[in-house]
């Protein structure tokens, strides 16, 4: 299964979604807990195992999960768990050791459901580009099908009961992963992040909570879910993302009009380094790939400069994930030390960008 994930050409990483030049991906998560049972943080190992068994029995009745795999997290190696994290299919919390943890994965990676993370169920739909409503359509269907078989913890005045108070209500966390290199280059990003915090939106890095904005990626999501409907939460995020997107586009126009020679130099240097490097760490590689992606979006380089098949954007998107540590070790089918990973990463970049 894990080899198939690495070679999957039809995942949300393909860069074919709407407005994907700035909105890398859209994601919606729903938190649900089985009525009468304690949250995972308070549940016994026996209770966690019973929850895992219950979900395993019921998920085959969910229409959207007919072509899915059930994975017991206890049976996974540390490397396989890290691979799922790098592909945004599980959280950092979920790969920590613990009883009763599982995950249901759709074959196309657009749906994943964590069992016994902070909540009994953390259901996720993810899509390429700016497509939150498509994600909600998928999750709404999954939630309805589960609700026919499982009674979830719910109070009329509070909504769905969740382990984290910020998820109370709808249990929804909607987010968009945005690529914002021009706002960073024009030094406007801090004002944007401050404004988002003031209007109750959370900003995280490439791999979620507690991570840095590597590769100029920022994940923007709602901070609370109580007091608003699912549609209102989604519409609010769409409005905010559109405003940030407009700011990024304006910053890109400024770079082209005022600093085009400097920008062309940066793009050319990034391409030269990635095509010729022999050792490169993931942070530096992500930085150069980010500049290449910007250069491609602005027409400074062409698809043909990156890929013989003319799919430069898709190639860059896949490289953002492929060069991560667990992916490199799965590709090589062995454990690699840091310097070995830097060498293999450079080799992959040279080979993939060889036109």
The confidence score (pLDDT) of residue 5 equals: 66
Q: Which of 252, 281, 300 is the last residue of a domain?
A: 252
Give the C-alpha separation, 180 to 23, whole Å: 9
pLDDT of 308 > 80? The answer is no
The Cα diameter of the chain in Å comes to 64
Give the C-alpha separation, 101 to 11, whole Å: 24
Of 26, 220, 242, the closest CA to residue 132 belongs to 26
- Under a CB-based contact definition with an 8 Å cutoff, are residues 288 and 274 in contact? yes
Element containing residue 154 per DSSP (H, E): strand 154-155
- 219 shares its domain with 131: yes
- 329 shares its domain with 248: no
Q: Which of 252, 285, 314 is the last residue of a domain?
A: 252
- Give the mean model confidence (pLDDT) for residues 329-333: 92
- Give the mean model confidence (pLDDT) for residues 22-48: 96
Q: What are phi and psi of 120, to 5 degrees?
A: -60, -40
The confidence score (pLDDT) of residue 355 equals: 64
Of 250, 298, 246, 260, the closest CA to residue 23 belongs to 246
Q: What are phi and psi of 188, to 5 degrees?
A: -110, -5
- 245 shares its domain with 269: no
Of 289, 274, 291, 296, the closest CA to residue 351 belongs to 274
- 102 shares its domain with 155: yes
The confidence score (pLDDT) of residue 304 equals: 84
pLDDT of 265 > 70? The answer is yes
Reading the block at residue 289, the tokens are: 């790939």
CATH number of the domain to which 192 belongs:
3.30.590.10
- 105 shares its domain with 184: yes
- 172 shares its domain with 269: no
- 81 shares its domain with 193: yes
Range of the domain at 17: 2-252
Of the listed ranges 3-7, 123-127, 192-196, 317-321, the one predicted with least confidence: 3-7
- 333 shares its domain with 215: no
- 73 shares its domain with 208: yes
- Under a CB-based contact definition with an 8 Å cutoff, are residues 65 and 106 in contact? yes
- 153 shares its domain with 278: no
Of 51, 153, 173, the closest CA to residue 100 belongs to 51
Give the C-alpha separation, 72 to 46, whole Å: 15
For residue 317, CA distances in Å to 53, 138, 182 come to 36, 23, 18
Of 311, 314, 267, 263, the closest CA to residue 24 belongs to 314
Q: What is the mean pLDDT of the chain?
A: 92
- 186 shares its domain with 299: no
pLDDT of 56 > 80? The answer is yes
Q: Which of 219, 234, 252 is the last residue of a domain?
A: 252
pLDDT of 13 > 80? The answer is no
Burial class of residue 335, CB neighbours in 10 A (0-12, 13-18, 19+): exposed
- 164 shares its domain with 268: no
Total domains present in the chain: 2
Element containing residue 313 per DSSP (H, E): helix 312-322
- Under a CB-based contact definition with an 8 Å cutoff, are residues 161 and 168 in contact? yes
The confidence score (pLDDT) of residue 226 equals: 85
Of the listed ranges 204-218, 256-270, 309-323, the one predicted with least confidence: 204-218
Q: What is the pLDDT of residues 188-226, one digit of tens each?
A: 999 999 999 999 899 987 755 544 567 799 999 998 888
């Amino acid at each position: 299964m894990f080899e198939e994930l690495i070679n999957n050409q039809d995942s949300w990483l393909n860069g074919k979604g709407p407005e994907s030049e700035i909105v890398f991906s859209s994601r919606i998560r729903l938190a649900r807990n089985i009525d009468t049972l304690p949250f995972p943080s308070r549940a016994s190992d026996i209770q966690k195992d019973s929850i895992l068994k219950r979900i395993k029995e019921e998920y085959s009745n969910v229409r959207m999960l007919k072509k899915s795999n059930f994975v017991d997290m206890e049976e996974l190696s540390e490397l396989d768990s890290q691979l799922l994290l790098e592909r945004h299919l599980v959280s950092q919390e979920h790969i920590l050791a613990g009883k009763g943890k599982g995950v249901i994965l759709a074959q196309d990676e657009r749906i994943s459901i964590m069992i016994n993370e902070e909540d009994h169920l953390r259901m996720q739909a993810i899509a390429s580009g700016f497509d939150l409503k498509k994600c909600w359509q998928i999750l709404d269907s999954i939630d309805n099908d589960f609700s026919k078989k499982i009674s979830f913890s719910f109070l009329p005045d509070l909504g769905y009961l969740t382990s984290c108070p910020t998820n109370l209500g709808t249990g929804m966390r909607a987010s968009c992963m945005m690529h914002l290199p021009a706002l960073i280059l024009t030094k406007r990003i801090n004002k944007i992040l401050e404004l988002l915090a003031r209007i109750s939106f959370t900003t995280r890095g490439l791999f979620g909570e507690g991570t840095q904005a590597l590769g100029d990626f920022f994940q923007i999501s709602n901070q609370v879910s109580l007091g608003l409907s699912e549609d209102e939460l989604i519409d609010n995020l769409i409005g905010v993302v559109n405003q940030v997107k407009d700011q990024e586009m304006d910053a890109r126009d400024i770079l082209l009009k005022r600093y085009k020679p400097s920008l062309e130099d940066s793009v050319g240097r990034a391409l030269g380094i990635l095509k010729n490097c022999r050792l490169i760490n993931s942070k530096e590689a992500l930085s150069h790939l980010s500049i290449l992606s910007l250069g491609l979006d602005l027409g400074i380089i062409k698809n043909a400069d990156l890929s013989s098949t003319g799919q430069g954007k898709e190639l860059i998107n896949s490289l953002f994930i492929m060069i991560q540590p667990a992916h490199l070790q799965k590709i090589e089918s062995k454990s690699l030390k840091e310097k070995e990973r830097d060498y293999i990463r450079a080799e992959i970049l040279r080979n993939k960008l060889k036109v």
